[in-house]
Structure 1
Amino acid sequence: MRAKDVLGRRGEDLAAGFLESLGMRVVDRNWRCRDGEIDIVALDGDALVIAEVKTRKSLDYGHPFEAVDAEKLARLHRLAAAWCRDHELRMPLRRVDVIAVLDDGIGQPAVEHLRGVG
């Protein structure tokens, strides 16, 4: 596995644990369809949460949140609808959250969470 993939997997594991520490229930991870992938699907009370995780070693190329633009958000909303269709669920409350993980491999990783983006 490439170092980038290992870093990304570690970031997703940290993000899933973080969401669970907030009382959310992770119900799916790395769900794929022809239109893309959802990193984490969770339930927060009655709301379906589609969580996009961005993991970086440093801020050299900008903050991880900066990697989620309007086009990516639109794709995540389409993927949320596709996930619901695929699982035959009606979830009127849906939101996209973004989780940034900064992990230099030396110190404690930093996790930041933006709720209800776009």
Structure 2
Amino acid sequence: MNRAEIGRRGEAVAARYYQKQGCTLLVHNYRVKMGEIDLILREPDGTIVLCEVKTRSPDPLASPAEAVTLAKQRKLIRATKYYLQQTGQSDEPARFDVAEVTPLDSGRWMVHIIKGAFTA
């Protein structure tokens, strides 16, 4: 499995994880010129969740979330503002999460969600 395929599978795993928690998947891979949002979901309480998914092999020295740099956060924030304006949801509560997804040797996946990983 190549890197792109691992990333796609990791995003799908994270989406299923959120859905099992009662979230509704609104958009998968929202792309505009200012950036991309991996997952856009709505929690049962109405909160919109903008999730950056990082899929990495296990590494005790670095967490996948460390790859969400300040520059990446700025791109996500710009793309989110555009999405919320275009969909008429600018007044809705929103949160930025990072999903760390790690493939395990058993063929299973470990998902760790960092809720509110950063703010706009």
Q: Show the counterpart of 1:88.
A: 88
Q: Does 1:101 align with 2:104?
A: no
The question of whether the paired residues in 2 share the 8 Å contact of 1:41 and 1:50 is answered with: yes
Match of 2:76 in 1: 76
**Alpha-carbon distance in structure 1 between the residues aligned to 2:3 and 2:27:** 22
5+ residue gaps, structure 1, are none
Matches of 2:59 and 2:20 in 1, distance apart?
25
Superposition pairs for residues 1-118 of structure 1, below 5 Å? 3-44=2-43, 45-59=45-59, 62-104=62-104, 106-118=106-118
Q: How many aligned positions are there?
A: 117
Structure 2 length-normalised TM: 0.87
Note the C-alpha offset of 1:107. Answer: 3.8
- Runs of 4+ in structure 1 off by over 3 angstroms are 104-107
Structure 1 range deviating more: 26-35 or 84-93? 84-93
Q: Give the deviation of 1:51 after TM superposition.
A: 0.4
Identity %: 29
Q: Matches of 1:91 and 1:24 in 2, distance apart? A: 19
Deviation of 1:109 after TM superposition, in Å, equals 1.3
Two-structure CA RMSD over aligned residues (Å): 1.8
Q: TM-score when scaled to structure 1? A: 0.88
- Give unmatched runs, 5+ long, in structure 2: none
1-structure distance, mates of 2:42, 2:77:
16
